[in-house]
Amino acid sequence: MDVIIIFVCNNENIKLINIIFFVFDNLTYSTVPGNTTKYTIKETKTPAGYIESGAVINVSIDSIGTVTITGTNVDGAKVTNTPITGSLKITKTIKGDLTLAEINGDLTFTVTNNDTNVSNTYTVAGDFVPTTTKGVYVLELPNTPIGGYTVVESVVDQTGYTHTVSYSVNSGASTTGDTATVAVEEGKTSTVDYTNDYTKNPGTLKITKTIEGDLTAEEAAGDLSFTVKNTATGKTDVYYINKDFTPNANGVYELVLPETAGTYEVTETVKDHDGYTYTVSYVVNGETKTGATASVTVASDKESVVAYTNKYTKNPGTLKITKTIEGDLTAEEAAGDLSFTVK
């Protein structure tokens, strides 16, 4: 007679089930009518990491071979062992230029039991709970079987942003990366704290300066400067044509500035030149306007251009011709015969 007893090492919290079959073969029993042969089976050794069930299994075999199983902590022919557990706590901090709501895609964590290779996946949006601290979310996994675990965060790249991922285990030193290893110990809470820091990529602000008309670029350039102001922060910088700009092959002065995405106010300062008048115009996004102050929006990973043109015109002078008539003719008599050619 063979009797099979099933021992189940089960943990619903992490969806881990180990099933062990024990076969008690060649059990003899009496075939005398009315006789019953009885056996007692006790668990004497528990699998590593599990609590002894205390199960006592009573096996009765009647004379025709019918098996009846009863006992303490026994479900039919199944005995369940409860794992020795601790807790695993994962926190996620999102900082910088993005919030969780602004992130496209989800932040995903995969937790793998290194002994069984069983993995479970959790998302910040679906499984983590926001804390009272802005940008901090927590996932608590109580009743986690003791042992080693690998925690991996999967991050979706965000267009126009760069990010760094770092973590610390049990409040230890911060490490750059997305893969952490942690040991869960009996009755204790092990922690893995992740931080994602998002930075908006800078764009490029390009200012060009073209000088036309009756002054050369060299004559006019020394008096020109540009003020660049971030309208959101108020940060202001001044750049000079002769110091900060570079003339290209066509004689156009250029300045390229890496700037945080946002709106900027660019103002040209021009000094008067004796004997000359000038006009100032600029082009932004294909639109030409007259004036010294331009508003331009800088986008992440893109170049925005403000193209200024100064046209100088030499002021006209005055030529005055006088004519005095003397002698025996009056002015009226002589004037009709006089003319002047100016060449």
How does pLDDT run along the chain (343 residues), one tens digit per residue? Answer: 444 444 444 444 434 444 445 556 667 778 888 888 888 777 777 777 788 777 777 788 888 888 787 766 555 556 677 888 999 999 999 999 999 998 888 899 999 999 889 999 999 999 999 999 999 999 999 999 999 999 999 998 888 889 999 999 999 999 999 999 999 999 999 999 999 999 988 899 999 999 998 887 777 767 789 999 999 899 999 999 989 999 998 889 999 998 888 899 999 998 888 888 999 999 998 899 999 999 999 988 889 999 999 999 998 888 888 888 787 777 777 777 778 888 8
Asked if 207 contacts 225 with a C-beta cutoff of 8 angstroms, the reply is: no
Asked if 255 contacts 221 with a C-beta cutoff of 8 angstroms, the reply is: no
Q: Pairing relation of β-strands 303-314 and 136-145? A: unpaired
Rg (CA), the chain: 44
Among all chains, which residue has been given the structure tokens 């979706």? 156
Asked if 148 contacts 190 with a C-beta cutoff of 8 angstroms, the reply is: no
d(CA 43, CA 53): 7
Q: Which two tokens stand for residue 155?
A: 């991050």
